[in-house]
Chains A and B, each alone.
Chain A
Amino acid sequence: MTAINHHTPDAMLAAYATGNLPQPYALVVAAHISLCLDCRASYEAHLAAGGAVLETCATEAVSDGLKSSILDRLDTPYTPEPTYQRMGVYPAPVMQALKGKAIRWKSLGLGVRQSILSSDQNGSARLLFIPSGQAVPEHSHNGLELTLVLQGSFSDDTGRFGVGDLEVADQALEHTPTADPGPPCICLAATDAPLRFNTFLPRLLQPLFRI
């Protein structure tokens, strides 16, 4: 077990706790919290602040029958929502995104693989599998990109990112993250932009195609 050195920025943690982070980012932050004691404490501190707001906000009278109708339903059988458990290196939120199914990897060439978890107007989230020495593919050249390491590590100009580390890269960051020697690096990556065609190619090939 190595220490986590790159954490979720506090503003992002607050936005996650208050429920106002786009779904792909929320997935990555939930996965980071699953691995990081420190960010879990910060997240729960924000929930405590939310609780203080709830406690002190102006009240609104509820309908007469509401309480009895809820009390009447306490014993009603119900179907619990499916819950997901961590599997291997994949924390529960990733298993939730996969709906418990096995990962379907697609090759990007040079041994690099990806599995798209979601891609729509809210952005995209995907898993990446990068063999040692290969570059980490990026989503696009705009927006904010979050990359959480689940296995192995990668390095770029800004440092080394091991299991549990979260890299937050905005468009200003010029970097070429590369998987370190050792086991293949597996990452969870999210952006607020939908996936583009160029993202299906590893970074190495992009100059050749002038995309």
Chain B
Amino acid sequence: MIASLDTDPTRRDPVAGLQKDITQLPEPSSEITPQTTLMLAVRDHRDRAAFAALFDHFAPRLKGFIMRSGTGSAQAEEIIQDVMLTVWRKSAQFDPARAQVSAWIYQIARNRQIDIIRKERRPLPDELGEDPGAEPDASQIMAIEQEAGQLKLALARLKPDQRDIIEKAYLGELTHQEISTQTGLPLGTIKSRIRLGLERLRHELKGLR
């Protein structure tokens, strides 16, 4: 199932769930992708050359992605312009301990597409700010990168028809009823990792409940 996340009842207990998850996670490698390095340069140093390099990487992918759901070339480029400007303006919200650049840009692109289609803003969850005192956790960032790499591999290994369904789902072409009957990507491990990234922001979450 696309939605085949961990439904273990122990996940209701954050601490028990977390400890169980830690023991299952593989050791992170020491690979940080160029996109993450570039995005951090944009976020922390407003680096225009890094931004231009991110454009070179993502713009053709965004265009392919957007045009697959039937949008014309000119409108696709308008959306790319909005998305890349949002990447520049909202770079402070990028948190490599929770998301790879591709995941963050995917979200921005889908938000923009939906806002255009529906002509109203998509409801989004509360933003979780960085803990100003938190040290950047390199091993957590590398673990997220590694899990994202695994997802890409899993996607590449799918049979063409299965892969087509996954792509349709993430292009936003399947309803939740359709999604629940489909086979999907294994997301349990990356979910556990993201959860570790979220734990850093826990004090904020406590205030939210």
Contacts and interface: CB of A to CB of B under 8 A. Distances in A.
Contacts of A12: 3, 176
Contacts of B198: 37, 40-41, 44
A86 interface: yes
Contact-residue size bin, chain B (C-beta under 8 Å from the other chain)? 35 or more
A66 B98 CA distance: 30
Interface in B25-75: 48, 51-52, 55-56, 58-65, 67-68, 73
Given A10-B4, A27-B123, A51 B148 contact: yes
Contacts of B56: 67
A61 B5 CA distance: 35
B111 A19 contact: yes
Contacts of A97: 123
Interface centre among A21, A27, A37, A93 (most CB of B within 10 A): A37
Given A37-B14, A67-B52, A164-B209, A80 B89 contact: yes
A7 to B, nearest CB: 8
A14 B156 CA distance: 20
A35 B209 contact: yes
Interface centre among A4, A44, A70, A92 (most CB of B within 10 A): A44
Interface string A134-168: 00000000000000000000000000000110000
Contact of B85 (A21, A70, A83): A70
A206 interface: no
Nearest to B189: A45
A63 B80 CA distance: 11
B23 interface: no
A171 interface: no
Interface string B62-105: 11110110000100110011001100110000000011111111
B5 A10 contact: yes
Given A49-B185, A62-B59, A93-B123, A11 B103 contact: no
A38 B198 CA distance: 9
Interface string B116-153: 00101111111100000000000000000001100110
Nearest to A12: B176
A20 B3 contact: no
A13 B173 CA distance: 15
Contacts of A14: 2-3, 169, 176, 179, 184
B194 A71 contact: no
Contact of B118 (A23, A30, A57): A23
Interface in B147-203: 147-148, 151-152, 154-156, 166-167, 169-177, 179-180, 184-185, 187, 190-192, 194-195, 198-199, 202
Contacts of A96: 121, 123-124
Nearest to A118: B120
B140 to A, nearest CB: 13
Contact of A91 (B64, B81, B208): B208
